[in-house]
């Protein structure tokens, strides 16, 4: 099974749409549960993507670390 390609920007936009939906006046409880679960899935995926980026930044910083003690 091929792993789905994750797009951070699309996930963030979908989260914003879910948030806007919850701010509406007519909320269907069943739909709210589904949207809440989807939102939590997206948050978890975004969090993992951010952690990967942070690790990569640290790796790059370590690679180019200059010796300032001279």
Radius of gyration, CA atoms only, the chain: 19
Distances in Å between the Cα of 17 and the Cα atoms of 39, 51, 66 are 10, 24, 44
The pLDDT score that the predictor gives to residue 3 is 52
**Band (29; pLDDT cuts 50, 70, 90):** very high
Q: What is the pLDDT of residues 3-27, one digit of tens each?
A: 568 899 999 999 999 999 999 988 9
The pLDDT score that the predictor gives to residue 45 is 96
What is the pTM (predicted TM-score) of this model?
A: 0.76
The pLDDT score that the predictor gives to residue 57 is 93
| DSSP annotation of 24 | S
Average pLDDT in the chain? 89
């Amino acid at each position: 099974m091929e792993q789905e390609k994750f797009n951070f920007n699309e996930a963030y936009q979908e989260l914003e749409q879910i948030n806007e939906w919850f701010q509406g006046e007519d909320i269907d409880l069943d739909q709210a549960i589904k949207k809440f679960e989807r939102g939590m899935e997206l948050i978890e995926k975004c969090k993992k993507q951010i952690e990967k980026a942070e690790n990569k930044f640290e790796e790059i910083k370590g690679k180019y670390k200059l010796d300032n003690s001279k």
